[in-house]
Amino acid sequence: MVGVFQATFAHLDSSSGVAGERFLGLLVAVFFVYAASIVVSTIRQYYRLRHIPGPRIAGFSKWWLLQGETGGRMNLECYEITEKYGSLARIGPNDLLTSDPDLMRRMLNVRTNYQRSDWYYAMRFDPSKDNVLSMMDDAKHTKLRAKMAAGYSGKEVEGLEPKIDKNILAFMDLLDSRYVSLAKPFDFGRKAQFFTLDVISDVAYGQAFGFMATDSDMFNYIEILERQMPKIISTTVYPWLVDVLSSPVFKSLLPSHKDALGFGKVMGIAREKAAERFGPNKIVRNDMLGSFVAHGLTLEEAGSETLMQILAGSDTTATAVRATTLHIMTSPRVVNRLHAELDKAGVFGRPLDRIIGDAEARSLPYVQAIVKEGLRIFPPVVGLMSKVVPKGGDTFKGVYLPEGTKVGYCAWGIMRRREVWGDDASEFRPERWLEATPEKLKEMESTLELVFSYGRWQCLGKNIALMELNKVFVELFRRYELVLVDPTRPWKSRNVGIFNQSEFWIKGYKRQLE
């Protein structure tokens, strides 16, 4: 490029020195006008949100936002920001972060005027197709949710609870036959994700992938996805990257349904399973995919939605299983009280092939307190999921939010907010759910609900996830005494919007059942 300019100027000089000088002057002028416009735009952007505190660099650049989201400790970075600057803090030129549950409910309620921001554009796991998570058009999103609601509720999934029970039994058998009975340690981080991947595939397609049966990371799905997640989350900071990456120039670098390994392989399975439900020789099953198709999802939509639920549903539930298990097993007080409740309910005397029912688990107060406290102390999803301030702006608790500003979710801050949870908010203490007054319990319940989002954007998979959690801790702790191999280094945990957790080494010992 430099050579081209030099040659151009040489030609102009040889033909007309005056013309060359004019051209050079014009070029310099254009450059300075462009630079000045960037400076003016940056200053205007800074002043627009100057009344909201945050890191100094955040007013001028997305650098804090990028390193915060991709650095591996996003949950803590965001929490530390709200602890330092307050429950509404600036983290980018046009980006805010809130740890105020009232503001979250204001943005998420069914009659809100707030909209999804372009953060969601990066949730197109297949860049060529939208899904219920990535869709930003409200009308289309509502219509799509309506088609999927019955399937996610379980009402049209034949034998939903027995499917989950079958996979919990397979999970227990895997731990028992290959590790506990042989006194071998196991990476509970991986095993928990094998379990949740098999559950969601069984519920979705009527057939589990087989992660537990093979006791392996099939087609290196988990390993490859963990490597790719920082790159995926970076596109939430710069959503235009999605279009760049899906262009013909770069598309070959993205996962493809033709891949033999990784996320591309799962894309291929999702596409294949969806295709089986269409055409003259279509398969008809009463599973989640069958419900989607029965309610009008197209072939393309069915493939996209099942792909999304595999990725989103397995990772988040696995995190809840891992984190809550870690907190239970490292608190003898919690283990003893859980055992006392299970003993009183007669759970210990039952055959091991009889999984506790969802309805019974919901009736056990301490089991429910553990599930809730696990989700509170370690919320599985901490992505910003930013919403856009509506036209005309908004004023919240005396603070003006200009139109078009993006406001993100600080999960760690909300779930450790002392005004809601008390001075021991950083402690795993299920008893708080049993001690609270009716008014306080209502406040706690409505705040915890934000883990699954709220209102028009509430997670469709909430009921299935809670059914898994209601059962799995009962079955783990009625069978085994679980201990950490190295209490000083319990696991490797990184967060880039969702958690990657591995090397969670545990040894299990069979409990003497009465």
Contact (CB, 8 A) for 454 and 104: yes
Give me the pLDDT at residue 296, please: 95
Q: Domain 49-510: which CATH class?
A: mainly alpha
In angstroms, the CA 442 to CA 86 distance is 24
Give me the pLDDT at residue 16, please: 54
Spatial neighbors of 309 by CB under 8 A, at least 6 apart, are 200, 204, 288, 461
Q: pLDDT-derived band of residue 211, with 50, 70 and 90 as boundaries?
A: very high
Give me the pLDDT at residue 6, please: 47
With 70 as the cut, is the pLDDT of residue 9 above it?
A: no
Q: Is 132 exposed, middle or buried (0-12, 13-18, 19+ CB in 10 A)?
A: buried
> What does DSSP say about strands 492-495 and 186-187: parallel, antiparallel, or unpaired?
unpaired
Query: What are the tokens at 355?
Result: 């999984």
Spatial neighbors of 305 by CB under 8 A, at least 6 apart, are 131, 132, 148, 292, 297
Q: With pLDDT > 90 as the criterion, what percentage of the chain qualifies?
A: 70
Q: pLDDT-derived band of residue 2, with 50, 70 and 90 as boundaries?
A: very low
Lowest-confidence pick of 116-130, 293-307, 313-327: 116-130
In angstroms, the CA 126 to CA 264 distance is 9
Contact (CB, 8 A) for 326 and 333: no
Residue 69 C-beta-side C-alpha neighbours within 13 Å: 27
Tens digit of each residue's pLDDT (9 = 90 or more) over 215-258: 999 999 999 888 888 888 888 998 888 888 778 877 777 788 88
DSSP for 364-403 reads -HHHHHHHHHHHHHS-S------EEPPTT-EEETTEEE-T
Q: What share of the chain is helix, strand, coil (3-state, %, to 5)?
A: 60, 10, 30
Q: Which one of 238-247, 277-286, 419-428 scores highest in mean pLDDT?
A: 419-428
Give me the pLDDT at residue 29, please: 66
In angstroms, the CA 427 to CA 75 distance is 17
Residue 377 C-beta-side C-alpha neighbours within 13 Å: 23
In angstroms, the CA 240 to CA 223 distance is 26
The Cα angle at residue 171 between residues 169 and 172, in degrees rounded to 5 = 65
Spatial neighbors of 252 by CB under 8 A, at least 6 apart, are none
Q: pLDDT-derived band of residue 12, with 50, 70 and 90 as boundaries?
A: very low
Q: pLDDT-derived band of residue 8, with 50, 70 and 90 as boundaries?
A: very low
Q: pLDDT-derived band of residue 418, with 50, 70 and 90 as boundaries?
A: very high
In angstroms, the CA 341 to CA 246 distance is 53
Contact (CB, 8 A) for 120 and 83: no
- Is 410 annotated as contributing to ligand binding? no
Mean pLDDT of 376-403: 96
Instruction: Write down the domain spans for the chain.
Output: 2-47, 49-510
Q: pLDDT-derived band of residue 46, with 50, 70 and 90 as boundaries?
A: confident
With 90 as the cut, is the pLDDT of residue 206 above it?
A: no
Give me the pLDDT at residue 40, please: 57
